[in-house]
Structure 1
Amino acid sequence: MKIFASQIARQRFAVICLLGAVLAGGAGFAGGVLWVKERNPILKEATFTNLSASYNEIMREYLNGAEPKDLIDGATEGMVKSLNDKYSKYLIGDSGEAYVQNYESEVVGIGIQLREEDNVFIIDTVIKDSPAEKAGLKAEDILTAVEGATVKGVSLDKLIELLRGEIGSKVSITVTRPKQTEPITVTMTRAAIPVMTVSYEMKPDGIGYVVISRFAQKTADQFKTAIDDLTKQGMKGLLLDVRSNPGGLLVPTITIADQLIPKGKTILQVVSKEERSTQTYKSKQAAEWKLPIVVLTNRHSASAAEVLTAALKESAGATIVGETTYGKGVVQRFSQFKDLSVLSLTEAQWRTPKGNWINGKGVEPDVKVSLPAYTELSALPSGTVMKLGDYGDSVKTLQQMLAALGYDPAGASAGVYDEATKSAVIRLQKAEGIEPANGETADSTMNKLMERLREKLKKEDYQEQKGTELLKGLIAKGTSSSK
């Protein structure tokens, strides 16, 4: 221990300590600033002061006032848009939650699918074993009220929101049924409704036909169920349809590939920014797949659908039939924040098993087959009425649909709802028993058009027909898809 020899020495020491404390405080503050800047690189950018100053000025002076969260969300949204990457996006709040729900295995509701027709909501499908089926609801029932409140004037999105809720909660709806005068009111307990992304059927000659609409959390499980059932039915070859599949999650895609691709063969390679790392996924197949595979694609098959298609083509010897795929060879990772907003950001790209980049190019089919032009027509807008004197792209689409079904509005001006178009619509309405046959195109007429086009496509699906033909040949030869 040391003691001070004099008062002067004590004072001098006090001054030195004070200066030391100030210097240490300054150094600590500077260190703290540097640490904050290291943790938040945005603070190093000179233009960050513009953002901060603009925020402060808006909050202080903007005439109509502003919400801080709205300003920050808008800034984040704009920041992501500035990347000029069509796949990267910032989705705010409910939009972010809806994005995440696209990939979830279930939704909570009553188990019905609705369509809007002439300003009324009609039950299109009742899902098996759902609360709706157990309550006796049927397809073509017209939904008129939820919890006693009319649904007239409610948007379809809002109505779906009203029908969904928490598991175990109750909801009361009222429907009217054709040929029944009294309305029907039922109360149901909301339940988890599985989101089905795989459908299948056994076609003649032992062809198992499986459609994957997108890759969500339970898609691989649903695919396995389909394959197991088709195998029990005596499947001899697999016709896998990923047409118009926009992609989705990578994990279920890899799991499906594991089932179909020989063990140890490459499924894909994921390459990070500046090729700092490459992750190669190889098949972990547990049981050998011995059946031939034909894959159906079109120009809307994208992302994970292309991963599976390329892997089956290059590592399992599958035959690809249809059109060149979309060409999305990049990978997004998404993060959801506490307020449900989502950042989906392009962080990697991928190569096929043979090392091919497909971004902007797509996967080429082995056998090119196109569909009739009417299959590329966009859907007509619901909840509207097109009539004499209207014009635009929707009218042009209507005219093309009429022509495809044999009701050609001969002499009509493209995109103009003229007398020739009205006459063609009247012919369709009379043939289909649509009342009134007034030549105006409302939901009932639009829906009938779409129904008839779907029926027409079943007869003219040249891609499926070619795929089936090739698969029959492979089955006859006893050829496995593996090479």
Structure 2
Amino acid sequence: MNYFTSAAAKQRFLSFCVLGAFLFAAIGFTVGLLWMGNRYPMLKEPAFKQFTVSYNKIIKDYLNGAEPKKLINGAAVGMVSSLEDPYSRYLVEEKGDAYTQSYEGEIFGIGAELREEEGEFVITALTKGAPAERGGLLPEDIIMSVDNQKLSGKTFDDLLGLVRGEEGTNVSLEVQRANQAELISITLKREAIPVHTVTSELLDGGIGHVTISRFAEKTADEFEAAIKELQEKQPLKGLLLDMRSNPGGLLQPTIKIASTLIPKDKVILNVVYKNERQTISYKSKQEKEWKVPIAVLVNGQSASASEVLTAALKESAGATVIGEKTYGKGVVQAFNQFKDGSVLSLTEAQWKTPGGTWINKTGVSPDFAVELPAYTQLRPLAIGTEMKVGSYGEDVKTLQLMLKELGYTPTGQEGMFDKDTAEALRKFQTAEKLEATGSFNDKTGYQLLSKLREKLAKEDSQLIKGLDVLKNRG
């Protein structure tokens, strides 16, 4: 059947179809541009043309060649850095994976704690039942190589990158053991190693001392288990919650812990988003009444989520805060992880205490300001530091103060490593069964810090004040 009465009519119809097709294409192209512009507003920016031209120029003409993905990742890093926000960052691939894994409550490795000492990596402790212990590694073993890569000249982060990996994969180590000439070769299978963020102990008078080092995915569960274990030993008379030097972490476990300790429906915090377009008030969902008095220990390194919990307990649960003014981080980050592992962590809101205070750059003030002994403020001696007779400067001064605190007072000139300093150091080394050289090295430094920690455990003025407060309230 023929629908055209003439060749001219057929030609007009074909012309109309072609014109219509062009019109539809033009409209579609325009709509597409508008959609792209709305979905990707960066395309509207005049500077985007410069970015595109620069990218194409680098790909085409850069002498040494360039990887497109590396260029784009670099642009993303630079874009976030331009915000000049210390808390926003773009972490590329492996760094992004490491960032998210740090909050997951476990790592995939062998279960060995390490320290760096004079360029060597020494096993400090082993996780019970983990591959390292089962495989026969011992504290004080020195790891010499990982998967045939010698560790000489490697950093601590380099070592962690070599030892950690995918669950179920093998890692081969060579270790040096004291009094054995031959290196020991051992192959271990990586497993999920739990990273604990809560520790607890029962102190005199029925006081539960619970320390939270940071807030990760499983922190609330660990806290609940710690409280249960303490209460099974004896009914608690008080809770001493220690969040000194806790840098913060995830908000959800923080809220869950707060809900255990704060009366139901009391405010924990308020989160205020950009231009106050949204405010979310988080309230306690307490199921069982908490009747035990609470004291909180904090210091100048207690930040972010630890400040959230401190302020909430202080304002909504009547807890007593002891120690130093906290760091003062009153902003909230959200992070997005992409398929390649990269992470965008971006400041998206501020948080306020139950009473409406924004603590950013001001911190949470303690009810009782208590300083630790002066020796806790000594600056650490960097790994690899060596000192001997003739050395001088701030490191020598720090060493002399450490020795003085431990009862080995040098009588020479402050800041000068003279014969008196060498003799005092030699006495310390002898007492600690170290090689008595009278010179300072990493091994001696590690032992000095260990003894100072033992001393602080007996002289912790903030903890002592916390116990005193709880006993008087109980």
TM-score (norm 2): 0.91
The residue that corresponds to 1:437 in the other structure is 437
For residues 189 and 232 of structure 1, what CA distance do their matches in structure 2 show?
37
Which position in structure 1 is the counterpart of 2:60?
Answer: 60
Deviates more, 1:28-37 or 1:251-260: 28-37
Contact 1:381 1:394 in 2 (8 A): no
1:85 paired residue number:
85
Moved more, 457-466 or 123-132: 123-132
Partner of 1:228: 228
Map residues 28-67 of structure 1 onto 2, 5 A cutoff.
28-67=28-67
Question: Any conservation in 1 of the 2:119–2:152 contact (CA below 8 Å)?
Answer: yes
Counterpart Cα distance in 1 of 2:169 and 2:78: 39
In structure 2, the partner of 1:215 is 215
Percentage of pairs with the same residue = 56
8 Å CA contact retained: 2:426, 2:436: no
Deviation at 1:203, TM superposition (A): 0.9
CA displacement at 1:130 relative to structure 2: 1.8
Q: Structure 1 pair 62/401, CA: closer, same or farther in 2 (3 Å)?
A: farther
Q: Report the equivalent of 2:360.
A: 359
Any idea what SS the aligned residue of 1:114 has?
A: strand
1:137 matched residue in structure 2: 137
CA displacement at 1:432 relative to structure 2:
3.7
User: Taking structure 1 as the reference length, what is the TM-score of the superposition?
Assistant: 0.90
Matched with 1:100 is: 100
Change (3 A) 1:167 1:64: closer
Aligned-partner Cα distance in 1 for 2:393–2:90: 32
Counterpart residue identity of residue 266, structure 2: K
1:105: how far off? 1.4
The equivalences for 1:289-368 within 5 A come to 289-368=290-369
CA distance in 2, matches of 1:292, 1:36: 58
Which segment is superposed worse, 214-223 or 4-13? Answer: 4-13
Cα distance in 1 for residues equivalent to 2:49 and 2:110:
51
Tell me, in whole angstroms, the C-alpha distance in 2 between the residues paired with 1:24 and 1:288: 68
- 8 Å Cα contact 1:270/1:348 also seen in 2: yes
* Cα deviation, residue 167, structure 1: 2.8
Q: Deviations over 1:196-239 (max 9, x none)?
A: 00011111111111000000011111111100000011122111
Mapping 1:217-256, distance limit 5 Å: 217-234=217-234, 235-256=236-257
C-alpha contact 2:427 2:436 (8 A) present in aligned 1: no
Q: Which runs of 5+ in 1 are unaligned?
A: 476-483
8 Å CA contact 1:270, 1:278 repeated in 2: yes
Partner of 1:479: none
The C-alpha deviation readout for 1:298-330, integer Å capped at 9, x for no partner, is 011001001111111111111111111111111
Q: Secondary structure at the match of 2:339?
A: coil
2:456 corresponds to: 457
Q: CA deviation at 1:63?
A: 2.3
1:240-289 Cα offsets, whole Å, 9 max, x none, are 00000000001111111111111111111111111111111111111111
State how 1:103-114 maps to structure 2 within 5 Å.
103-114=103-114
**Counterpart contact for 1:430–1:437, Cα < 8 Å:** no
| Other-structure match for 2:375 | 374
How many residues are matched?
473
Check the 8 A contact 1:198/1:211 in 2, yes or no: yes
Cα distance in 2 for partners of 1:131, 1:354 equals: 49
Contact between 1:385 and 1:442, CA under 8 Å: does it hold in 2?
yes
Is contact 2:208-2:240 (8 Å) kept? yes
Amino acid in the other structure paired with 1:268? L
Q: How far is the alpha carbon of 1:147 from its aligned partner?
A: 5.2
1:269 aligns with 2:270: yes
What is the rounded CA distance, in whole Å, between the counterparts of 1:146 and 1:104 in structure 2? 25
Gaps in structure 2 of 5+ consecutive residues? none
User: CA shift at 1:429, angstroms?
Assistant: 3.5
Stretch of structure 1 that moved more, 420-429 or 77-86 = 420-429
Q: Distance in 1 between matches of 2:315 and 2:117?
A: 46
Q: Give the 3-state SS of the residue equivalent to 1:79 in structure 2.
A: helix
Q: Aligned-pair distance for 1:190? A: 2.6
| 1:387-402 correspondence runs (5 A) | 387=388, 394=395, 397-402=398-403
